[in-house]
Amino acid sequence: MARGGQGLARVAVVVRAGAAPLWWCGAVAAGVGVLPPGMTGRRIGVTAGAALFVAALAVVALVRRKRYDALARGAARAGKYDVLQDRAVTVRNWRRGHRWWLLLAFAAALGSSFAVPAAGGMLLAGAGTGLRLKAAWLGRRERSGETLLWVRVDWLDRRGGGPAGKAVKGLRATGVAAGDATPGGSRRRTAALV
């Protein structure tokens, strides 16, 4: 980076990066997993899966909120020479870093269907939904403060995640027009040129 600038990734994008793959892995695993009757039967499996879905959603959506709040309150303005990482790069880094974990989780969810049908897949889908809700919560926080929150790329873990991990000493802030992602981490829609 020129003149001491840092590479910065959007916090909400890092959080949201795992939402879609977890949800889709969970949905497919639950759909396939409901086919075998399992040891418990489909009705008990789906009921247990619904409970796991709600539990995973709540835990993932609510965990570390105080840490995010503390980091956001102490966010410093991004420097002139800081480089804002594209949304697509952040998402790609997270998904590449977690691809084996996602594959193992998918296989475990499918395998568990022979004991409790659909439950493992619904647990994964709940975790993905929880990540999306956490990103939406961060987006509301960014809109209310009219700032986007960024984390130094070198402070993320080796798999491209952990935007509120122990290595993160603080966040950077920019105006809401910076970068290519909206508050909450979704892709910014650009108006078509006429």
Distance of alpha carbon 150 from alpha carbon 31, whole angstroms: 37
Q: Assign 184 a pLDDT band (cuts: 50, 70, 90).
A: confident
Of 23-27, 128-132, 173-177, the least confident: 173-177
Q: Which two tokens stand for residue 79?
A: 């420097």
- Output the DSSP codes for 9-51: EEHHHHHHTTHHHHHHHHHHHHHHHTSS-TTT-HHHHHHHHHH
pLDDT tens for 98-145 read: 999 999 999 999 999 889 999 999 999 999 999 999 999 999 999 999
Q: What's the chain's average pLDDT?
A: 90
Average pLDDT over residues 19-36: 93
pLDDT tens for 55-87 read: 999 999 999 999 999 999 999 999 889 999 999
Average pLDDT over residues 28-36: 90
Distance of alpha carbon 85 from alpha carbon 107, whole angstroms: 32
Residue 190's pLDDT is 59
pLDDT greater than 90 at residue 188:
no
Q: Assign 4 a pLDDT band (cuts: 50, 70, 90).
A: low
Q: Which two tokens stand for residue 120?
A: 């493992």
Q: Are 58 and 130 in contact (CB under 8 A)?
A: yes
pLDDT greater than 70 at residue 191:
no
Between residues 56 and 191, the one the model is more confident about: 56
Distance of alpha carbon 190 from alpha carbon 9, whole angstroms: 20
Q: Which two tokens stand for residue 48?
A: 């247990």
CA-nearest of 103, 91, 22 to 57 is: 22
Between residues 47 and 187, the one the model is more confident about: 47
The interaxial angle of helices 119-145 and 87-112, nearest 10 deg, is 150
